[in-house]
């Protein structure tokens, strides 16, 4: 069975592929389904792939192949059985209400790119309440809104708010805020390889960036994540 949103997306991909010869882009899918971010499209695409309706072809743009269609796309007048599962997801069972977790207000310093780096932002746009248990030890903390999907396989989606502990060093494998060439800010996994720094995405659609160590400045380390359901 498919949810209503999954079925709607499958219909949209099929129609656009028949019309244009190529599947729609993620932005076009997001607009067609009236979703707030592309992370929702990622979840729907993954669900369709897991159920065997589509296949994503690696290392190719817009590479979606429809493997099968529900009966509703074959027989006129047939109404498919769908499940209602596209509303707001319930919070995890072990989620701690902010009010009950000694919350602290942190400044949100604009957006951080989880995708193509964007111009560095250092102005406070607003504040966000963060459970005190999320703050790791002493030091200064701040928050950033995530823009992009390059860290989606690390559980970081477009629109999430990440909590960052301010520091200038990082161990291999840690997710950091990196300032590239003094003007691009990005959220990536950090690895030092000799005189080079690798900034790794957690999405196979993005390539690892290799940069001279003197072009990368660590601005902080990821210590928490806040998501609105």
Together in a domain, 105 and 39: no
pLDDT of residue 81: 41
Domain that holds residue 167: 100-226
> Active site includes 122?
no
pLDDT of residue 36: 77
Together in a domain, 184 and 219: yes
Asked if residue 64 is part of any domain, the answer here is yes
Token pair, residue 135, equals: 């703050």
Task: Residue 68: give its domain's CATH number.
Answer: 1.10.10.10
Together in a domain, 37 and 112: no
pLDDT of residue 68: 80
pLDDT of residue 173: 94
pLDDT, the chain, mean: 77
**Looking at residues 24-45, what average pLDDT do you find?**
83
Taking only the tens place, the pLDDT of each residue in 44-101 is 888 888 788 888 776 555 678 888 876 555 544 434 444 444 444 455 555 555 444 4
Check: pTM over 0.85? Answer yes or no.
no
Together in a domain, 160 and 219: yes
Contact residues for 116 (Cβ-Cβ < 8 A; gap 6+): 148
Lookup result for tokens 């899918």: 29
Highest mean pLDDT: which range of 20-29, 59-68, 202-211, 220-229: 202-211
Low-confidence winner among 111-120, 121-130, 162-171, 175-184 (lowest mean pLDDT): 111-120
> Active site includes 188?
yes
CA distance 211 to 194: 11
From 39, 150, 168, 217, the catalytic residue: 150
172, 167, 98, 146 alpha-carbon torsion, rounded to 10°: -70
Together in a domain, 66 and 25: yes
Asked if residue 212 is part of any domain, the answer here is yes
Instruction: Say how many domains are in the chain.
Output: 2
Contact call for residues 222 and 163 (beta carbons, < 8 A): yes
pLDDT band at residue 185 under the 50/70/90 scheme:
confident
Asked if residue 86 is part of any domain, the answer here is no
Together in a domain, 116 and 212: yes
Together in a domain, 107 and 36: no
pLDDT band at residue 210 under the 50/70/90 scheme:
very high
Task: Residue 105: give its domain's CATH number.
Answer: 2.10.109.10
Taking only the tens place, the pLDDT of each residue in 211-225 is 999 999 998 999 988
pLDDT of residue 95: 55
CA distance 78 to 176: 51
């Amino acid at each position: 069975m498919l949810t209503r949103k999954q079925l709607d997306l499958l219909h949209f991909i099929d129609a656009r592929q028949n019309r244009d010869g190529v599947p729609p882009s993620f932005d076009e899918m997001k607009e067609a389904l009236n979703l707030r971010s592309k992370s929702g499209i990622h979840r729907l695409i993954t669900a369709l792939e897991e159920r065997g309706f589509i296949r994503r072809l690696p290392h190719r743009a817009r590479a979606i192949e429809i493997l099968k269609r529900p009966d509703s796309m074959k027989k006129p007048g047939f109404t498919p059985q769908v499940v209602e599962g596209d509303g707001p997801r319930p919070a995890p069972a072990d989620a701690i209400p902010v009010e009950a977790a000694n919350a602290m207000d942190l400044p949100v310093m604009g957006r951080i790119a989880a995708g193509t780096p964007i111009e560095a932002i250092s102005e406070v746009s607003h504040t966000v309440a963060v459970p005190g248990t999320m703050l790791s030890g002493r030091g200064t903390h701040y928050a950033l809104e995530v823009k992009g999907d390059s860290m989606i396989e690390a559980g970081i989606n477009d629109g999430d708010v990440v909590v960052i502990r301010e520091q200038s060093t990082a161990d291999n494998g840690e997710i950091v805020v990196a300032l590239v060439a003094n003007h691009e800010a990005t959220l990536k996994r950090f690895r030092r390889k000799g005189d080079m720094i690798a900034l790794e995405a957690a999405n196979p659609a993005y390539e690892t960036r290799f940069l001279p160590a003197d072009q990368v400045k660590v601005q902080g380390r990821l210590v928490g994540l806040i998501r609105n359901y």
